[in-house]
Amino acid sequence: MTRPLLLLSAALLTSTSLCAQQIQRQLGDFDLKLGTTPSRSMAQGLISPSAVGTFHGGLDVTHASGWYAGQYAPSMGLTSASAFKLDSYLGYKQRFTDSLGYEAGLIHYTYPTLARPDTHALYGGLSLLGSRFGGALNDDVSNRTGTLFADFGRVPLLDASVRVKVAHHRLGTPYTIGDGSQVDSFNDWSLQLSRPWKGIDLDLIYSNSDLSGGGCGAYSGMNTYCDGMVTLKAQRSFF
């Protein structure tokens, strides 16, 4: 935990370029970003979501060749109700034209304060005409997950950014419901509309899964809840 925090502090103290949610500095062929939201395109849609009410942030380093690496903490575990989580990633991104590019990488999920094994995910995708389409495969033995992700950017008709995620989960050990039936796999999805308002980032999120009733006991997906849920989140950055 000490090393990521030292890196974040050093970047914060030496940065000279300031924007709403990121501090950025150019060092030769390297571009450094420190922010409260993930700065990486495909990884931004596939890393663990930020826990509500927790301190979160990360550091991203990009080389002019297209290689990049970074760490993002969805939760720093500063409160008794939260645990320290850290997503580390390494990838490569390149553009063919201004409207077409590709990206691929590896994410390493760690939980330093929890007694659970680390996991990995391979991800990749395309950027096309301002939209991004990606996918990932997670090797968690207890819940192997395949995820598809689409970010359509700002949609003029809605005057908001639109993101969609769909995931298929296969459990390592089937979950037995009270009636004797078992759940060995399930699907979940989310739709997110985002837009800034007077310095505040507003997110309207609809999430759901194909589990219901007693089957929800098996749920361990990307959403907070198994059942359909509409969430309005307002977040204001300190810098």
Domain ranges of the chain: 1-124, 140-239
Are the beta carbons of 164 and 149 closer than 8 angstroms? yes
* Beta carbons within 10 angstroms of residue 129's beta carbon: 9
> For the chain, what's the residue count?
239
pLDDT for res 216: 94
Q: How far, CA to CA in Å, does 196 sit from each of 21, 53, 132, 170, 201?
A: 12, 19, 20, 36, 4
pLDDT of residue 41: 62
The type of residue at 236 is R
What integer pLDDT is reported at residue 192 of this predicted model?
Answer: 93
Task: Determine the pLDDT at residue 114.
Answer: 78
Q: How far apart are CA 45 and CA 166, in angstroms?
A: 11
The b-or-e profile of 144-174 (16+ CB within 10 A means b, else e) is bbebbbbbeeeeeeeebbbbebbbebebeee
- pLDDT on residue 85: 82
Which residues in the chain land under pLDDT 70? 1-22, 37-39, 41-42, 44-56, 76-82, 237-239
Angstrom CA distances, 182 to 16, 142, 169, 172, 220, stand at 56, 15, 14, 12, 15
pLDDT value, residue 8: 42
69: β partners: 61, 90
pLDDT at site 71: 87
Alpha-carbon gap, residue 56 to 229, rounded angstroms: 23
pLDDT digits (tens, 9 = 90+) for 11-36: 333 333 334 466 888 888 898 888 77
Which pTM was predicted?
Answer: 0.74
